[in-house]
Structure formats: C-alpha cells, structure tokens
Structure 1
C-alpha cells in the first residue's frame, strides 16, 4: 500500500484525498518524532512553536521566509540509492531513489562548508548539513536542481510568492526592490528563500567575495545555518531542531516535510553535476489542497508577477482607484472584506533615544552603558509589545552579549527596548549600532560606539637582577615587566620591545644583544606583544653577538608607558694567580 501511494504521488496524486493520505503516511513513516493521532492528523513528539512574544507585525519577523510557499513533495519510501556513475549525467526517469538522493555538486558543497563553519563558530549548535539540504530541497528544489554558476550564484532569481496578505503574510517592501525587484511588497529570495527584511540582518558572506547575496547558495546556506542556530539551540536535541525549523517557516506541515527529507538524506546521498537535479512539482501555495488562505491552483505562480506592476483593473495597494480617488470597504455589501484593525507597530511614529549616553569601551571589555530606545506615537504615547531590532555595522569585531551582531527586543510596558550589552572586540575604532522598528520604516536613532586600545601608564621590572652576558652567549635571565594603569593591573595591553641604539636614538641597533624568531634568525624588534591577565609581560630569551659593551632594551605600551632596560655584554674576567709558596714580597722603603 505504501509503495502504491508513492507511485500515485509521483504521478501527480489524482485526488486531493489521495494526496493528503500519502502525505500523512509518508511523514508518519519517515520523519523522526512524527506521529499520527486517531483522527489522522500529524503531530510531533515535541510540539514547539516559533519564537514569539504574542504580537503580530507586518515585517514577517517570525520566520526567515515570511511563512511563504514551499514544495510539498516528500521523498520516496525506499531508501536512497547512489548512482553507479554520478557524473554520467541525468539519471533515468524511473530511478526515483537515485534521482532524489542526488544533490548538485556546488549546492552540496555549500551545505557542507556552512555546517563546517558553524561547527567552528557555534560548536554547541551541532548543525548537520543534511538539515540545510532538507530545507534547501523544500524551499527551492536545491536551487532548481543546481542551476548555479561556478561561484554558487543562481542563473536567475528564485522568487517566492508575493507577500501581499492574500493567503500569505502582508509584508510591505523593505528593500526598495533591491533583492526581489518589487517596490510594493516583499518576496522570499534565493535558494534558501529569505525575505529581504530578514536577510538585512541575517545575511552572511559564505564564499568570501565580500558580498552578502541571498541568490548565492554559499551565502544563503551559511545564513540559514546561523539562523537555525540562534538562541543557543542544540540541534542534536529534537525539540530544538523542531523549534529551529518552525522558526524558519511556522507551519506544522512544513516541519513534517523538512524532517522527512532530513531523515532521507541522513540515510545516504551523493553528488551529481550541477543542473541535473530533480525539481519538485507540488507547492503549498499553488496546488489544490494547499494550506487555508492560499489561492486555487494556477492563480498565483512564483516568479510570474512583474515587480512594481499589477493587472489592469485590479485595486492598487492602499485602496486607491485609478484617477486618484480612494475607496474603503463597504461592510454592507456581501463578500466585502472587513478592514484589519491596526497592529501595535502601526501606531508607532518614531523610535526615540531613551538615555543611552556615551558609548566607549576598551578592547575586550563590556560597555558600561546599553543602548535603549522608546517606541512612541505621534502624540508621544509609549507603545508596548512591538519589536525593535538592533544591528551592529562597520569594520568591527564587537558584538552583543552572546556573540551576535543582531538582537531583536520587545518593548516593555513603558515602550522601552534595551539592547543586550555590547562587548568590545580587539579592533579599535568606531562602529555603528542602528535601531529599527520591525515591520515598518519609522524615524529611528543610530549610535556611534568607540573601542579604544587598552592602556598602561607605568612599566616596572619584576626583578632587579643585573642582566649580563658574555660575547656569543645567552643571558641567564629573561626580562619580565608588569604594566599598571592608574595603579591598577593593566591586562591585555599591547606592547613593543626594541633594542635601541641609545637613550636619545630610538632606532633599532644593528649589533649587540638580540632575540631569535621561530626559524632561529636574529630579531631586534618584537611587536604584537600583550600583557597577560595579571599585567605581566615576559620577553623571550636574549642572546649576545661578539660585540661587547652596554646596550639598551626599550619596552613601550599603548598609553605611553616606557621602560628602558640596561644589558651588559663583557668578556669573562680571570682571577689573579696566587703567589708561589715561600716567596717573599718586596717591602716598601722608609
């Protein structure tokens, strides 16, 4: 019976009832943790909903995709089978197991590289590349079967359905058409189907070309990995994986479909040439039997809407009729939709600063002040329970607590949203933190934060032992100093050590004592030094050439602390020989 259902699916599912039964059977049989209740409805062992605060916004902040359409095709019931010759070209039409388990080479490489990067940056997430492959299959059919160039960029844009509120989220344009080509509404973009407002903060550069492009599979896969690993999730825990998938698209059917492909890819997969992958045929947004609110099959196909245009005679966004007149729904007429009540975010006129103050910190320190804004109406009234997104930008490695560069916070009862504490990185200089109301463009502040180098104002040796050496030998003691700033330990302070020519000439000496580099070569200037947690800095061992004399070692730190250490190189002295036994010495005359 299961095999028969699988054949019916591959032929197109003759009726909605058969298709629904097949989806339930396949999902129940293959998705980990998925079961079917006594009414035939699918459930999971851990019912997890997307992260939410109970509010609704037009920005689609609850999911990466804006809860748009996706491919509903499920994997075959039989286990995946590898092609005997994966490079030989497209697989035969009847070899379903072979075709479905093959992933285009560049797309597969992108998934594996993204998972490897997450293993380094967020090892506790335990992201499997097969999960990225499952989402990529459901979202775009593995970039339309691998229709990408050598750099991983799709040959043409992959666009989801128009998010105009007609069966989908209502997300007004947030990118001025830069990614999706539409200046009226947003659409999900690229192989992993990110909506522009989410890509603005979640986008990553996965192929190292300096550009974050949602149409590039390397960039999109890495962004999807980081998106799934948010909130400290451990994807080896089923409930966390469920939450991550539902956060990507808030649909129980979507969760079941992704988990089915994830389990299928875990059993085995193989690489096939780019452009030869199979593309799913059934979608949640166009097929009959789609989720409630979607149009009948054929009424709205992804990619057919021209950006910025609408069909002749249709109502323009905002209720404006041709000719400049406006119309409003007439509740007395049957079928007239009732106007939607304004959301909390609709009432926000601007985001105002809420006493943030000066933002400055030393490298490695946590800023002593946090950024805070307040959402207010035109009348100045506070607006609670709206989402505010804080984004760090600029040439900086500073982050919010937890290592993220983006944080979304819900305003409290007083309309105030306080960003997580900023943590200064190792890069000095200024960077920008912007506040944004999720879902609408309103006036909002942006802040300049400055990271300054850690400093010391005093350096002192930890020992008063004289530093001496014979020509061609090595100094017995290593130079160690302690740095302080205003009397306190100065940890993490950058320092430089140079063997100078004289007190008045700071140029590097070309003779006398020296250090050795890793290859044993002579070095007389050390850079990149830094004091430890106790403010201590111990220099490498010193050596002497054949030149005798007194030499100077100068140590300087950020903040202006300087210490000059004397080094002496002298030939060894021999002790005087004792007088012969029984000899007499001359006595001085009177």
Structure 2
C-alpha cells in the first residue's frame, strides 16, 4: 500500500524510476498494439500517467484538507504498485482464453474466492457497510499483485512470505518490533506482512479467521481479505457513499495517488473479471518495495498495507510514522489502517466493531434434579477481535438430547439478543421428569463464529420425605396375615417422586413378621426393594406373622435417604 519514499520517490519525480517506467512502457506497448495509432497511444500514456481510470473521480477535495487524511507529512512504509488498469474492456476477446499475464482482468481462483467470501461475510456482519469484493481486489492488486498471482497453497496461505521493507526509518517510518518476529521474522523492526500487507501490530488488532481453521494468519489470503474488509467497514462507514469510500481507502494509505490507483482497479474489476488458475494473473512486479519476500534489516520489500509505517490513523485517516495500524500497511502508518499512538501524537485507529467470536461467559456445565428448574442457564459473550462485547447480536440457544428438558414454555430453541456488554443469557432451563444428559448449543446464526457447547445433567429425583398414607393400625394374629398392606408415599419439596427405589427392612430376621416363604417353607425376612408408582406411592403387600406375638418395626428407606418406620403387631 505504500508509495515509494526517500530515494525511490525522488527518482520517480525526476523520471528515474526504472521499475515504474518499465511497467508503464510494457503496458502502453501492449495497448498501443490494440489501438494502433500514435495519437491514440499518446492519449493512453497521458491517462496512465494521470493515475486516473476512465469514469473514476475522487470525491470532495481529493483527500486534501480532511481531518482524516494525514497527507505526506512523514516517510513511511507506503509503497504500492502504481500501474493502472488497461483502458480497454476487461472482457477477454471472443475466442480468446481468459487469464495469463496478458489479461489483467483475471484474478487467481483462491484469491478471488477469498475476496468474495470476505464481502459475503461482512454483508451479514455489517450490512450497512456495502463493501464490494472488487474493492478488496483493487487493494490486493496494488498491495501484492493478488498474492503474487495466486501463489498460495490449498488453504490460501502464501507459498513464501510477502514482506514489506524493514521499517527502520531509512526511507520509511521507524517502527520497532511489535510481534517478536512472529509474522515478519524481524525481532528489531516491523515489516508489513502478507497479501494485504498488514503491519504486525495492526494485525493484532484487526486479524481475522476467514477460512474457519481457528487461526488468524496475515499470510493467509482468506484471513487477510476478511481483516481488510473489517477495517474498511469500521466506524459505520457506508462504502456505497463516495465520501466514505474515499475515506476508507485513504485510511488504508493516505495518498491521492493511492486512492486514484485503487479506485481505477476497483472500477475496472466492476466492469468484468473472471477466475484464472492460481499462479496466473496479477503477477507482482519485481520493483523494490512491492511485496518482495526475504531481505533482512535494511533490505527492501513491499511497504504498504494496513498499519505500515506512517502516522497513526483516525478512522479514515492514515497513521503517522511508527504507528502500525493500517490495513494496506500492516502495522501502522500513513498508508495503513491505524495503530498505536505514534510519537507525533496521532490518534489511533478505531477498534474493530464486527462480531469476531462467541465465547462462554461463566460455567459450561449445569445440573438439576428431574422435574426442577436449573439454578443457572447458559451465558455467552459475542465480542470483537479485541475482546470487546458487541451489542444487539442475535444468539441461538438450542437443546440437543433425549431428555425432556426445555426452556420456559417447553421450547427447545430460543433466540436472545446480546446486551450492552455483548452478553446473551438463555432463559431458565427446566429439567423434565426423565434423567439423563443433554447439550445446549449456542451460536450466532448466519455468521461463522463457531459454537459454544454447554453440558447439562438431569439426575433422578430423590425423595426428601417418606410417610404412610393412612394411620390404620397394622395387626395380624399368630401364624396369620397382615390384611392391610403397608402403603407409603415418597415426595420431594411436596411433590410426588415417581420411579424411585424404596427398600423395606424388617427389624428382626429371626422372628416376627416376614415377607414370604422360600421353597422349603422357611420365612424370608431379607430386605425387599420396591419402586414408587407415578404418584410416588409404594405398597408392601403379603406380610405374614409367625407364632411369636409382639410389636415389630418395619423400616422403609427411599433412594436419597428419606425413611419412615411402621409398627407391625402380632397378637396372641
């Protein structure tokens, strides 16, 4: 995203920039052949050198005098490709194969997909932004030649690093290392990184996961395209409005020339483009400062991209030197998305506002007794890439499992909008009568933010009380039967507990009442296990008496510990 600074700028002004002259000469030669006349060729060259594509106009004051345009006040990593698109139609000639180095309208398949995916994603995240994928393509063209003509692997990661120049103050801004060399391989100074040229500190603020692999990598064209789109849409910009469109591009690189160049490619791609195989189309020129890889401290590369070394930027205002915060100049700067405050007192760029992740807010596991309400319910937070909560985002909570659990009113799925802190809490969960486990899935519909899973366990109800259903005295004559059965009811918090185990135990295992007789006719007095019915009632029937008169105790114990004692009397 950067213009040439220092020696490069001087050469260009004096007509001594061989790299640019070579590109313009080749381009103009190609189109002269198509136009076929010296006069027309002169018109083409004039249009090219004017850095203005047909039908593309700068809005307002062309970026001058705006509070959001820093101007060329300081050197910075703001190099970019100044070659303009052809003046001819972007549609390939009849019968010709589109693509290849001679067809500027072809965009490598993976890169084109990344731009379209990012625009589609942002259309749902920030519907008022109006970002078109062709704008990302225009920026990607001037920043890295469409990721070096689609030199990416199957996941969209560049086959070799695309690095801007070392931001050591020699012709560009002086930005000390902010990432420990993680992205740019330099532990002394920062360098712009990747197909959209993000300075490391800017990537730390705006980085995104555009391919759903769980990583945010500036070298990945899907991640970089989504991050660039988020930056362009920041602060409520409406890119369908000319003023906001200009402001967004200038926030990436505060240069009228950059603005004209991006707008030219933007308009060109809008007229028609097509996919070409990765490795073809939009190849990166070999001029210094245009996304070349390699090079160590003091060696050239491609300066330009969000956050490259220029002044910290306000929304729509390129940053100052030493501020990595610009999309086209990753890491800060005049030509990039804003970054940290620079030494010259610039204002940092706005924090991202689009939802970037959904995370659990509190515990992820819950339990309740069958038939009761859970003490807590799932809570999530929807946040930006910087961890700030996003208000007004709809979150779906869905119950998945075979239990009878539900939200209030019997619903299995509910939608709740996040509050001011970005938090959404599901309604109260009610456990059904059936014990077991289930999962509550929380997700943001229409956005690839992942899913938060909450586990919930419904345990069988345990009676807290067990008592007889009548006060009838239970008696039997010697060697006779207890005609009235022993009937008790299990309850929890006053409600019947169905299907709970109740154990009946006789006081004396040698004499007195017994449950039944074995095959040899001997009384059986070992404990008996029973189960309550749907009303929480259980009956002990078939009790008989031996020939030993007296009072005996029958103890009934419910699962959970509730007990009751019943007196059985054998009369003489």
User: When the two structures are superposed, what TM-score results if normalisation uses the length of structure 2?
Assistant: 0.49
Q: Of the two, which has the highest radius of gyration?
A: 2
